[in-house]
Amino acid sequence: MSTGTLITVAPTGAESSKSDVPNLPVTLDELVRTAQDCERVGAAMIHVHIRGDDTRPTLDLGRLKETVAALRSSTSLVVQLSTGGAVTDPEEDRLRVLEAMPDSASCTMGSVNFGDDVFMNRWEFVVELHRRMRERGIVPEYEIFDLGHLSSLRRLLDEHDLPAGGHVHVDLVMGVPGGMPGDVSTLVAALRLMPEGSTFSATGIGRTSLPVMLASLSAGGHLRVGMEDTVSYARGERVRDNAQLVARAAGLARIAQRPPMSSEEVRTLLSVAQSN
Protein backbone atom coordinates (compact mmCIF):
# COMPACT_ATOMS: atom_id res chain seq x y z
CA MET A 1 0.00 0.00 0.00
CA SER A 2 1.32 3.45 -0.85
CA THR A 3 1.98 5.83 2.03
CA GLY A 4 1.04 9.05 0.29
CA THR A 5 -2.31 10.10 -1.14
CA LEU A 6 -2.99 10.80 -4.78
CA ILE A 7 -5.38 13.75 -4.97
CA THR A 8 -7.16 14.19 -8.28
CA VAL A 9 -9.16 17.31 -8.97
CA ALA A 10 -12.21 17.08 -11.26
CA PRO A 11 -12.89 20.80 -11.64
CA THR A 12 -15.70 21.10 -14.18
CA GLY A 13 -17.59 17.95 -15.28
CA ALA A 14 -20.35 17.97 -17.85
CA GLU A 15 -23.40 18.30 -15.65
CA SER A 16 -23.42 21.74 -13.98
CA SER A 17 -24.25 24.80 -16.05
CA LYS A 18 -22.29 28.03 -15.77
CA SER A 19 -25.53 29.91 -15.14
CA ASP A 20 -26.32 27.73 -12.09
CA VAL A 21 -22.70 27.63 -10.87
CA PRO A 22 -21.00 30.90 -11.89
CA ASN A 23 -17.64 29.95 -10.33
CA LEU A 24 -17.37 26.75 -12.43
CA PRO A 25 -14.17 26.90 -14.54
CA VAL A 26 -15.29 26.68 -18.17
CA THR A 27 -12.84 28.74 -20.25
CA LEU A 28 -9.27 27.59 -20.89
CA ASP A 29 -7.95 30.49 -18.79
CA GLU A 30 -10.24 29.59 -15.90
CA LEU A 31 -9.25 25.93 -16.18
CA VAL A 32 -5.51 26.68 -16.20
CA ARG A 33 -5.81 29.04 -13.23
CA THR A 34 -7.84 26.43 -11.32
CA ALA A 35 -5.29 23.74 -12.17
CA GLN A 36 -2.42 25.89 -10.87
CA ASP A 37 -4.30 26.77 -7.67
CA CYS A 38 -5.17 23.11 -7.06
CA GLU A 39 -1.62 21.93 -7.71
CA ARG A 40 -0.34 24.48 -5.19
CA VAL A 41 -2.54 23.00 -2.43
CA GLY A 42 -2.00 19.29 -3.14
CA ALA A 43 -3.53 18.00 -6.37
CA ALA A 44 -1.32 15.80 -8.56
CA MET A 45 -3.76 14.82 -11.30
CA ILE A 46 -6.56 16.66 -13.11
CA HIS A 47 -9.63 14.97 -14.63
CA VAL A 48 -10.72 17.23 -17.47
CA HIS A 49 -14.04 17.93 -19.19
CA ILE A 50 -13.99 20.96 -21.43
CA ARG A 51 -16.62 23.49 -22.49
CA GLY A 52 -17.21 25.39 -25.72
CA ASP A 53 -17.55 29.15 -26.19
CA ASP A 54 -21.22 28.72 -25.27
CA THR A 55 -20.05 27.18 -21.91
CA ARG A 56 -21.68 23.84 -22.78
CA PRO A 57 -19.75 20.54 -22.74
CA THR A 58 -17.85 19.73 -25.93
CA LEU A 59 -15.47 17.02 -27.14
CA ASP A 60 -14.00 19.19 -29.89
CA LEU A 61 -10.62 17.63 -30.69
CA GLY A 62 -8.83 20.91 -31.44
CA ARG A 63 -9.91 22.34 -28.09
CA LEU A 64 -8.91 19.15 -26.28
CA LYS A 65 -5.42 19.28 -27.80
CA GLU A 66 -5.08 22.95 -26.87
CA THR A 67 -6.20 22.15 -23.33
CA VAL A 68 -3.70 19.31 -22.89
CA ALA A 69 -0.89 21.56 -24.18
CA ALA A 70 -1.89 24.47 -21.91
CA LEU A 71 -2.11 22.29 -18.80
CA ARG A 72 1.25 20.66 -19.61
CA SER A 73 3.01 23.99 -20.08
CA SER A 74 1.54 25.66 -16.98
CA THR A 75 1.46 22.79 -14.44
CA SER A 76 3.15 19.45 -13.68
CA LEU A 77 -0.19 17.74 -13.12
CA VAL A 78 -0.93 14.37 -14.67
CA VAL A 79 -3.49 15.28 -17.34
CA GLN A 80 -6.44 12.93 -17.59
CA LEU A 81 -9.11 13.55 -20.22
CA SER A 82 -12.64 12.31 -19.71
CA THR A 83 -13.86 9.89 -22.36
CA GLY A 84 -17.19 9.82 -20.51
CA GLY A 85 -18.14 13.27 -21.74
CA ALA A 86 -21.81 14.09 -21.29
CA VAL A 87 -24.55 11.42 -21.37
CA THR A 88 -25.54 12.66 -24.85
CA ASP A 89 -22.10 12.28 -26.47
CA PRO A 90 -21.84 9.66 -29.24
CA GLU A 91 -19.31 6.83 -28.97
CA GLU A 92 -17.18 8.02 -31.95
CA ASP A 93 -16.65 11.42 -30.32
CA ARG A 94 -15.73 9.80 -27.02
CA LEU A 95 -13.19 7.52 -28.72
CA ARG A 96 -11.71 10.48 -30.65
CA VAL A 97 -10.74 12.14 -27.30
CA LEU A 98 -7.73 9.79 -27.21
CA GLU A 99 -6.26 11.54 -30.28
CA ALA A 100 -5.49 14.50 -27.99
CA MET A 101 -2.87 12.19 -26.38
CA PRO A 102 -3.36 12.93 -22.66
CA ASP A 103 -1.25 11.16 -20.02
CA SER A 104 -4.35 9.33 -18.84
CA ALA A 105 -8.01 8.94 -19.78
CA SER A 106 -11.09 7.68 -18.02
CA CYS A 107 -12.66 4.38 -19.08
CA THR A 108 -16.05 3.66 -17.54
CA MET A 109 -16.63 -0.03 -16.98
CA GLY A 110 -20.34 -0.28 -17.75
CA SER A 111 -23.68 1.45 -18.16
CA VAL A 112 -25.52 3.05 -15.29
CA ASN A 113 -28.67 5.02 -14.67
CA PHE A 114 -27.55 8.61 -14.16
CA GLY A 115 -30.30 10.62 -12.52
CA ASP A 116 -33.05 10.74 -15.14
CA ASP A 117 -30.59 9.75 -17.90
CA VAL A 118 -28.56 6.68 -18.81
CA PHE A 119 -24.76 6.80 -19.06
CA MET A 120 -24.20 4.18 -21.79
CA ASN A 121 -21.01 2.11 -21.91
CA ARG A 122 -21.60 -1.01 -24.03
CA TRP A 123 -19.13 -3.87 -23.61
CA GLU A 124 -17.75 -3.54 -27.17
CA PHE A 125 -17.25 0.19 -26.63
CA VAL A 126 -15.37 -0.35 -23.36
CA VAL A 127 -13.12 -2.93 -25.06
CA GLU A 128 -12.41 -0.51 -27.92
CA LEU A 129 -11.48 2.29 -25.48
CA HIS A 130 -9.15 -0.06 -23.57
CA ARG A 131 -7.61 -1.31 -26.84
CA ARG A 132 -6.98 2.16 -28.26
CA MET A 133 -5.46 3.38 -24.97
CA ARG A 134 -3.08 0.40 -24.96
CA GLU A 135 -2.12 1.14 -28.57
CA ARG A 136 -1.34 4.80 -27.77
CA GLY A 137 0.33 4.25 -24.37
CA ILE A 138 -2.39 6.24 -22.56
CA VAL A 139 -2.89 5.07 -18.98
CA PRO A 140 -6.55 4.41 -18.17
CA GLU A 141 -8.37 5.14 -14.98
CA TYR A 142 -11.22 2.65 -14.78
CA GLU A 143 -14.36 4.46 -13.58
CA ILE A 144 -16.65 2.33 -11.43
CA PHE A 145 -20.18 3.59 -10.83
CA ASP A 146 -21.62 0.27 -9.62
CA LEU A 147 -20.20 -2.91 -8.08
CA GLY A 148 -20.90 -4.99 -11.22
CA HIS A 149 -18.48 -2.72 -13.09
CA LEU A 150 -15.67 -4.32 -11.09
CA SER A 151 -16.66 -7.76 -12.43
CA SER A 152 -16.52 -6.29 -15.94
CA LEU A 153 -13.06 -4.86 -15.19
CA ARG A 154 -11.78 -8.30 -14.21
CA ARG A 155 -13.22 -9.75 -17.42
CA LEU A 156 -11.61 -6.94 -19.45
CA LEU A 157 -8.18 -7.59 -17.95
CA ASP A 158 -8.54 -11.38 -18.36
CA GLU A 159 -9.62 -11.18 -21.99
CA HIS A 160 -7.74 -8.08 -23.20
CA ASP A 161 -4.56 -7.84 -21.10
CA LEU A 162 -3.21 -5.23 -18.73
CA PRO A 163 -3.40 -1.54 -19.67
CA ALA A 164 -0.53 0.60 -20.93
CA GLY A 165 2.16 0.67 -18.24
CA GLY A 166 0.86 -2.54 -16.65
CA HIS A 167 -0.66 -0.95 -13.54
CA VAL A 168 -4.42 -0.98 -12.85
CA HIS A 169 -5.91 2.11 -11.21
CA VAL A 170 -9.60 2.34 -10.40
CA ASP A 171 -11.79 5.29 -9.44
CA LEU A 172 -14.93 4.55 -7.42
CA VAL A 173 -17.55 7.15 -8.30
CA MET A 174 -20.05 6.72 -5.49
CA GLY A 175 -23.43 8.26 -4.79
CA VAL A 176 -24.59 8.93 -8.36
CA PRO A 177 -28.41 8.63 -8.31
CA GLY A 178 -28.79 5.24 -10.03
CA GLY A 179 -25.31 3.96 -9.12
CA MET A 180 -23.78 2.48 -5.96
CA PRO A 181 -24.36 4.38 -2.71
CA GLY A 182 -21.60 6.53 -1.24
CA ASP A 183 -21.12 4.85 2.11
CA VAL A 184 -18.57 2.82 4.05
CA SER A 185 -20.15 -0.60 3.61
CA THR A 186 -20.31 -0.20 -0.18
CA LEU A 187 -16.69 0.94 -0.31
CA VAL A 188 -15.67 -2.10 1.73
CA ALA A 189 -17.68 -4.36 -0.61
CA ALA A 190 -15.87 -2.81 -3.59
CA LEU A 191 -12.46 -3.56 -2.04
CA ARG A 192 -13.15 -7.31 -2.22
CA LEU A 193 -13.78 -7.06 -5.96
CA MET A 194 -10.72 -4.97 -6.85
CA PRO A 195 -8.22 -6.63 -9.25
CA GLU A 196 -5.12 -7.92 -7.48
CA GLY A 197 -2.35 -5.32 -7.24
CA SER A 198 -4.61 -2.44 -8.25
CA THR A 199 -4.83 0.95 -6.56
CA PHE A 200 -7.99 2.97 -6.15
CA SER A 201 -9.31 6.47 -5.66
CA ALA A 202 -12.80 7.29 -4.53
CA THR A 203 -15.13 10.22 -4.84
CA GLY A 204 -18.58 10.76 -3.40
CA ILE A 205 -21.13 12.80 -5.32
CA GLY A 206 -22.90 15.63 -3.50
CA ARG A 207 -23.41 15.02 0.20
CA THR A 208 -21.54 11.69 0.07
CA SER A 209 -18.28 13.57 -0.59
CA LEU A 210 -17.03 13.65 3.02
CA PRO A 211 -18.01 10.11 4.13
CA VAL A 212 -16.44 8.63 0.98
CA MET A 213 -13.26 10.69 1.44
CA LEU A 214 -12.84 9.57 5.04
CA ALA A 215 -13.64 5.93 4.18
CA SER A 216 -11.18 5.89 1.28
CA LEU A 217 -8.37 7.35 3.36
CA SER A 218 -8.90 4.79 6.11
CA ALA A 219 -9.01 1.96 3.58
CA GLY A 220 -5.67 2.98 2.02
CA GLY A 221 -7.30 4.55 -1.02
CA HIS A 222 -6.68 7.79 -2.87
CA LEU A 223 -9.01 10.77 -3.35
CA ARG A 224 -10.81 12.62 -6.12
CA VAL A 225 -12.53 15.89 -5.30
CA GLY A 226 -13.84 18.81 -7.32
CA MET A 227 -16.82 20.74 -8.61
CA GLU A 228 -17.63 17.96 -11.11
CA ASP A 229 -18.72 15.93 -8.09
CA THR A 230 -19.99 18.47 -5.56
CA VAL A 231 -20.81 22.16 -5.55
CA SER A 232 -21.55 22.27 -1.80
CA TYR A 233 -18.75 22.62 0.73
CA ALA A 234 -20.97 22.01 3.74
CA ARG A 235 -24.68 22.02 4.44
CA GLY A 236 -26.00 25.34 3.12
CA GLU A 237 -22.56 26.53 1.96
CA ARG A 238 -21.57 26.59 -1.72
CA VAL A 239 -18.04 25.65 -2.80
CA ARG A 240 -15.88 28.78 -3.25
CA ASP A 241 -13.56 27.15 -5.77
CA ASN A 242 -11.90 23.82 -6.57
CA ALA A 243 -8.80 24.67 -4.54
CA GLN A 244 -10.97 24.86 -1.42
CA LEU A 245 -12.00 21.22 -1.96
CA VAL A 246 -8.43 20.12 -2.72
CA ALA A 247 -7.10 21.93 0.36
CA ARG A 248 -9.62 20.14 2.58
CA ALA A 249 -8.71 16.76 1.06
CA ALA A 250 -5.00 17.51 1.52
CA GLY A 251 -5.59 18.46 5.16
CA LEU A 252 -7.46 15.22 5.86
CA ALA A 253 -4.76 13.23 4.05
CA ARG A 254 -2.11 14.81 6.29
CA ILE A 255 -4.15 14.07 9.41
CA ALA A 256 -4.33 10.46 8.22
CA GLN A 257 -0.51 10.57 7.90
CA ARG A 258 -0.83 9.96 4.18
CA PRO A 259 0.23 13.35 2.79
CA PRO A 260 -0.49 14.44 -0.78
CA MET A 261 1.77 12.82 -3.38
CA SER A 262 3.66 14.95 -5.88
CA SER A 263 2.81 14.54 -9.54
CA GLU A 264 6.19 12.84 -10.08
CA GLU A 265 5.34 10.27 -7.39
CA VAL A 266 1.95 9.74 -9.01
CA ARG A 267 3.53 9.19 -12.42
CA THR A 268 5.60 6.42 -10.88
CA LEU A 269 2.59 4.94 -9.05
CA LEU A 270 0.40 4.84 -12.16
CA SER A 271 3.19 4.06 -14.65
CA VAL A 272 2.58 7.30 -16.54
CA ALA A 273 5.60 8.59 -18.48
CA GLN A 274 7.54 11.26 -16.55
CA SER A 275 7.01 14.83 -17.70
CA ASN A 276 9.93 16.54 -19.40
Site for Zn ion, rule CB under 5 A: 82, 84
112 binds ligand KMH (CB under 6 A): no
Residues 6+ apart with CB under 8 A from 100: 61, 64, 65, 67, 68, 81
Least distance in angstroms from the C-beta of 86 to ligand KMH: 6
d(Cα 83, Cα 75) in Å, to the nearest integer?
22
Q: Do residues 110 and 145 lie in contact, with contact meaning Cβ atoms separated by under 8 Å?
A: yes
Binding mask 183-222 for ligand KMH (x = CB under 6 A): ----------------------------------------
- Stretch of 21-29, 82-90, 146-154, 232-240 contacting ligand KMH, by CB under 6 A: 82-90
Of positions 41, 43, 64, 86, contacts ligand KMH by CB under 6 A: 86
d(Cα 127, Cα 109) in Å, to the nearest integer?
9
The site partner of 145 among ligand KMH, Zn ion, none (C-beta below 5 to 8 Å per kind) is none
Cβ nearer to ligand KMH, comparing 37 with 143: 143
Conformation bin of residue 197: beta by default, left when phi > 0, alpha when psi is -120 to 50: left
Whole-angstrom CA distances from 14 to 29, 200, 249 are 18, 23, 22
Cβ nearer to ligand KMH, comparing 86 with 252: 86
Least distance in angstroms from the C-beta of 100 to ligand KMH: 14
Q: Tell me the sheet residues that pair with 173.
A: 203
